[in-house]
């Protein structure tokens, strides 16, 4: 994400010269409370040991290793601010800041230069270049002494220990590279520094730390490949002849959407890089806002070798008439579709004449009592780091180290060809972040907006920037609290305001909006909004489908599901590196009739500690109001109970497929709503890093938990699946989907906090 072009721009109101990015005082405190996708987390109000400023003579804890110790402490110029030692800042990028455009360029140039031959260098294609996120202790060191607001209390105290280093470790980039000539995938690690980033003519390079070839995998597809594939298919003579049978000779009308083949048999093995396109057809080549997805082309089977970019299989299996043209299915203005747009809605303005209440310093955000950092990756999109809550004299209280959506899967439930093969892994096969788009045009967000840009590498190694990719703004959220005294008639009402961080991505026909909401009552909510266009099928005249909904003449929407997996690296009341969390499942139970329940009205909450990984594979249960609490084993609230944050799942559903469904061999993590594991750096993606054409069964979460590691006191990571099922009862309008968003909340556990 960009650090130089962060914008704070009012949307739909005249621009002002207000500068949202205000430097925070070095004496300001920060706390960490995190919220995940539509879950509510709440911090306990128990006492925390007092955290006095560290005197100048205090040394860093021994568990933090010095990076480049100062040989002569007297030679180091150490400034002080209110008794806190401030070390010289040897770099301007925080260790968690996304890679800048210059850093990406340096990383790409370094790897390309390391190619053994000109042929190898020329055939390199760059799938992903991301920051190597440092150890949590390095993040703590950076936040304590190198980046304001300085938080020395993040580090544990000892009477002795090594000197604080004069600078942080160099930043590193991790590159996933596909060799188009050899069909090999490799992973590279490159060391960066400010000297390397400040290039003159691009001649300076980083340093290759490691490289390895990953056998038997296919990396995600790229937009450049999709464009090439479309051109190849449209230029294939048998395909042109098949379209001519359907009355289409103008190839400019044809839309070819290359879908990954998934893995159904050995024919899909990753020894070849394959795509199985879906075909659609517009009615007018000069109508850029026409909904071409409303006219699917059925009966044509195409298989494309994406490495060599050739059609290797083609068959015109069944001639199904194209759905009739209908301007009402387009998404242009109403007048162009033979109607009018609504004219009875008066203007609604969201204004903040004194500017927003949040403060921004680089990627560090402060709002109310919340503070956190914003990150962005090509695969996950928005990442929220170091979430904390400032709790009065208790100071900074961490909630989570890292929050993001790491995978999403869209399996279709129609057994007919080609829909049975549609089980997209939109994060792992395509990349949610790389498919994000600019929010600069229009009003995706209302009010006073702070935008952040994002930088990515393209397939050939160039750097592309998505301007205004992430939106930060405040929203009114109705009533937070109200009470009226019936005796006096006096009423008190307090409105709720929330801080929202969001981005929107387009994956072929669908749009997904991801929103992280922070509330004044200590709740965090993660929300996913689904919009865009359905992936449809065509029908013969008079035909209907059991496994879909007829939405227009000759047109139906196949049943399918959407699964979004949120990964929450929790740190409830834990400093970086501490492992003092555990997970408790809570179910509401009805008391048995008897002397303790003579009125048959009694019920109570029953807690069960999830002691190991295999025990912690859990499913939602609305009949018992099931929820989970991540609690700290060393900290209590004012009532003497352990503090914690509660994960409240929303409406949910498991996969509506048989246990032997082909997509479940790649998506075994969908078999449960919640998984709990101890933190491990390499355990990031629930279906493995390379789900595209993945022949391995149960890779990722399903494999990790077999270790059955202890969770009684650990550095806890939650993986929670939020789902939505698109079935016959959904309402459709003009071939566009109208859905409620999917949410989950993390909130205060009232039974465990004051």
Catalytic residue among 143, 391, 426, 430: 426
pLDDT higher than 50, residue 570: yes
CB 445 within 8 A of CB 469: no
Mean pLDDT of the chain: 84
Res 742: pLDDT: 54
CA distance 305 to 229: 9
Tokens of 459: 């397939």
Q: Per-residue pLDDT averaged across 110-132, rounded?
A: 95
Tell the residue number behind the tokens 């049975």, with chain if given. 420
Res 347: pLDDT: 83
Indicate the pLDDT class of residue 751, thresholds 50, 70 and 90. very low
Q: Per-residue pLDDT averaged across 303-309, rounded?
A: 98
Give this prediction's pTM. Answer: 0.86
CB 334 within 8 A of CB 340: yes
CB 580 within 8 A of CB 678: no
CA distance 371 to 388: 6
Tell the residue number behind the tokens 């933190």, with chain if given. 679
Q: Per-residue pLDDT averaged across 200-204, rounded?
A: 49
Q: Per-residue pLDDT averaged across 30-45, rounded?
A: 35
510 is catalytic: yes
pLDDT higher than 60, residue 40: no
Tell the residue number behind the tokens 């994002």, with chain if given. 454
Indicate the pLDDT class of residue 721, thresholds 50, 70 and 90. very high
Could you tell me which residues come within 8 angstroms of residue 167 by beta carbon, excluding any fewer than 6 positions away? 67, 68, 88, 90, 91
Tell the residue number behind the tokens 């967000």, with chain if given. 445
Q: Per-residue pLDDT averaged across 119-146, rounded?
A: 95
Beta-bridged to residue 86, according to DSSP, are: 79
Res 445: pLDDT: 86
Q: Per-residue pLDDT averaged across 258-266, rounded?
A: 94
Q: Per-residue pLDDT averaged across 646-666, rounded?
A: 92
Res 337: pLDDT: 67
Q: For 372-398, what is each residue's pLDDT tens digit?
A: 999 999 999 999 999 999 998 889 999
Tokens of 747: 């909130």
pLDDT higher than 90, residue 591: yes
Q: Per-residue pLDDT averaged across 715-744, rounded?
A: 61
If we measure between CA atoms, which residue out of 357, 362, 391, 356 comes closest to residue 375?
362
Res 345: pLDDT: 85
CA distance 175 to 206: 13
pLDDT higher than 60, residue 631: yes
Tokens of 192: 């960066």
Other beta carbons less than 10 A from residue 513's beta carbon: 17
CA distances from 37 to 40, 287, 405, 516, 645 (A): 8, 38, 8, 7, 14
Poorest-confidence range of 38-52, 117-131, 494-508, 549-563?
38-52
CATH number for domain 101-153+168-214, candidates 4.10.1110, 3.40.50, 2.40.50, 3.10.450: 3.10.450
Indicate the pLDDT class of residue 164, thresholds 50, 70 and 90. confident
CATH class given for the domain over 223-336: alpha beta
Res 91: pLDDT: 64
Res 167: pLDDT: 87
For 358-533+560-726+735-749, CATH gives: 2.70.98.20
CB 298 within 8 A of CB 538: yes
Res 279: pLDDT: 97
Res 154: pLDDT: 86
Indicate the pLDDT class of residue 287, thresholds 50, 70 and 90. confident
Other beta carbons less than 10 A from residue 157's beta carbon: 14
β-pair type (742-748, 39-41): parallel
Indicate the pLDDT class of residue 128, thresholds 50, 70 and 90. very high
Residue with the larger pLDDT of the pair 664 and 326 = 664
485 is catalytic: no
Residue with the larger pLDDT of the pair 188 and 750 = 188
Catalytic residue among 510, 519, 547, 556: 510
Range list for CATH 3.10.450.40 in the chain:
223-336
CB-count exposure of residue 564 (10 Å: 0-12, 13-18, 19+): buried
If we measure between CA atoms, which residue out of 139, 742, 95, 36 comes closest to residue 384?
36
H-type helices in 129-265, by residue range? 136-141, 194-197, 223-234, 237-245
Res 372: pLDDT: 98
Res 163: pLDDT: 67
H or E element in which residue 101 lies: helix 101-113
H or E element in which residue 112 lies: helix 101-113
Res 7: pLDDT: 57
Res 124: pLDDT: 97
Q: Per-residue pLDDT averaged across 21-44, rounded?
A: 35
Res 66: pLDDT: 31
Q: For 268-284, what is each residue's pLDDT tens digit?
A: 999 999 999 999 999 87
CB 2 within 8 A of CB 453: yes
Q: Per-residue pLDDT averaged across 720-744, rounded?
A: 54
CA distance 26 to 750: 34
Q: For 203-236, what is each residue's pLDDT tens digit?
A: 467 899 999 999 999 999 999 999 999 999 999 9
Res 38: pLDDT: 35
Helix 223-234 and helix 237-245, axial crossing angle in degrees, nearest 10: 70
H-type helices in 625-736, by residue range? 701-704
β-pair type (381-390, 396-411): antiparallel
Range list for CATH 2.70.98.20 in the chain:
358-533+560-726+735-749
Indicate the pLDDT class of residue 85, thresholds 50, 70 and 90. very low
- % of the chain at pLDDT higher than 70: 81
CA distances from 287 to 111, 263, 281, 297 (A): 43, 37, 12, 19
Q: Per-residue pLDDT averaged across 629-642, rounded?
A: 94
Q: Per-residue pLDDT averaged across 523-537, rounded?
A: 93
Tokens of 278: 């879906």
The DSSP string of 348-390 is -----TT--S-EEETTEEEETTEEEEEEEETTTEEEEEEEEEE
pLDDT higher than 50, residue 60: no
* Residue 617: HSE in the Cβ half-sphere, 13 Å Cα cutoff: 16
Q: Per-residue pLDDT averaged across 570-597, rounded?
A: 95
pLDDT higher than 70, residue 335: no
pLDDT higher than 60, residue 162: no
Res 56: pLDDT: 34
Q: What are phi and psi of 330, to 5 degrees?
A: -80, 170
CB 524 within 8 A of CB 387: yes
If we measure between CA atoms, which residue out of 37, 701, 752, 736 comes closest to residue 380?
37
pLDDT higher than 50, residue 72: no
Q: Per-residue pLDDT averaged across 465-471, rounded?
A: 96
CB 37 within 8 A of CB 743: yes
Residue with the larger pLDDT of the pair 55 and 294 = 294
Residue with the larger pLDDT of the pair 723 and 197 = 723
CB 454 within 8 A of CB 433: yes
């Amino acid at each position: 994400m960009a650090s130089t072009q962060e914008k704070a721009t009012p949307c739909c109101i005249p621009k002002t010269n207000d500068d949202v990015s205000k430097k925070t005082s070095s004496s300001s405190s920060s706390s960490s409370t995190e919220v995940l996708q539509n879950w509510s987390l709440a911090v306990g109000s128990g006492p925390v040991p007092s955290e006095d400023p560290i005197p100048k003579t205090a040394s860093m804890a021994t568990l933090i290793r010095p990076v480049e110790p100062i040989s002569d402490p007297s030679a180091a110029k150490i400034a002080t601010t209110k008794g806190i030692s401030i070390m010289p800042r040897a770099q301007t990028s925080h260790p968690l800041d996304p890679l800048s455009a210059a850093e990406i360029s340096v990383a790409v140039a370094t790897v390309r230069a390391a190619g053994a031959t000109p042929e190898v260098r020329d055939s390199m294609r760059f799938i992903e270049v991301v920051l190597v996120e440092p150890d949590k202790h390095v993040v703590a060191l950076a936040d304590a002494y190198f980046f304001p607001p300085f938080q020395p209390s993040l580090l544990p105290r000892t009477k002795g220990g090594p000197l604080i280093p004069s600078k942080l470790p160099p930043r590193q980039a991790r590159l996933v590279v596909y060799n188009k000539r050899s069909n090999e995938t490799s992973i590279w690690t490159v060391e960066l520094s400010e000297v390397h980033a400040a290039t003159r003519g691009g001649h300076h390079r980083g340093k290759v730390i490691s490289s390895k070839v990953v056998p038997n995998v296919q990396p995600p597809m790229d937009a450049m490949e999709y464009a090439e594939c479309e051109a190849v298919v449209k230029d294939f003579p048998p395909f042109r002849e098949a379209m001519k049978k359907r009355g289409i000779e103008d190839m400019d009308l044809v839309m070819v959407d290359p879908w990954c083949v998934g893995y159904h048999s050995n024919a899909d093995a990753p020894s070849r890089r394959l795509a199985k396109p879906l075909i659609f057809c517009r009615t007018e080549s000069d109508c850029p806002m026409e909904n071409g997805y409303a006219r699917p082309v059925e009966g044509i089977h195409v298989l494309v070798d994406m490495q060599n970019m050739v059609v290797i299989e083609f068959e015109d299996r069944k001639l199904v008439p194209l759905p009739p043209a209908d301007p009402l299915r387009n998404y242009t203005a109403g007048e162009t579709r033979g109607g009018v747009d609504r004219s009875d809605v008066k203007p609604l303005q969201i204004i903040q004449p004194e500017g927003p209440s949040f403060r921004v310093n680089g990627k560090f955000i402060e709002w109310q009592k919340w503070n956190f950092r914003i990150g962005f990756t090509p695969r996950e999109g928005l990442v929220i780091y170091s979430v904390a809550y400032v709790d009065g004299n208790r100071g900074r209280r961490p909630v989570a180290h890292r929050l993001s959506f790491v995978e999403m899967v869209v399996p279709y439930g129609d057994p007919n060809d080609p829909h049975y093969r549609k089980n997209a892994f939109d994060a792992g096969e395509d990349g949610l972040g790389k498919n994000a788009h600019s929010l600069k045009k229009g009003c995706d967000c209302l009010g006073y907006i702070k935008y952040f840009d994002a930088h990515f590498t393209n397939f050939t190694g160039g750097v592309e920037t998505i301007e205004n990719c992430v939106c930060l703004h405040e929203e009114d959220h109705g009533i937070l609290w109200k009470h009226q005294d019936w005796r006096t008639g006096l009423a008190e009402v307090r409105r709720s305001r929330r801080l929202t961080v969001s981005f929107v991505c387009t994956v072929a026909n669908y749009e997904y909006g991801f929103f992280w909401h922070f509330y004044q009552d200590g709740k965090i909510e993660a929300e996913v909004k689904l919009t865009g266009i359905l992936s449809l099928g065509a029908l013969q005249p008079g035909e209907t489908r059991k496994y879909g909904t007829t939405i227009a003449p000759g047109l139906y929407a196949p049943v399918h599901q959407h699964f979004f997996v949120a990964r929450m690296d929790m740190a409830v009341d834990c400093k970086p590196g501490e492992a003092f969390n555990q997970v408790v499942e809570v179910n509401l139970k009805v008391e048995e009739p008897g002397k303790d329940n003579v009125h048959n009205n009694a019920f109570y909450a029953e807690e069960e500690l999830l002691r190991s990984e295999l025990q912690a594979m859990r499913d939602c249960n609305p009949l018992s109001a099931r929820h989970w609490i991540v609690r700290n084993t060393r900290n209590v609230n004012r009532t003497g109970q352990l503090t914690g944050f509660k994960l409240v799942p929303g409406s949910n559903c498991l996969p509506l497929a048989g246990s032997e469904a082909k997509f479940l061999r790649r998506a075994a993590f969908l078999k449960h709503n919640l998984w709990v594991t101890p933190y491990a750096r390499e355990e990031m993606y629930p279906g493995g890093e390379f789900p595209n054409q993945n022949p391995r069964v149960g890779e990722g979460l399903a494999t990790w938990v077999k270790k059955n590691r202890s969770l009684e006191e650990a550095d806890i990571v939650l993986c929670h699946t939020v789902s939505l099922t698109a079935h016959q009862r959904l309402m459709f309008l003009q071939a566009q989907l109208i859905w409620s968003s999917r949410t989950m909340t993390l909130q205060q556990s009232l039974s465990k906090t004051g």
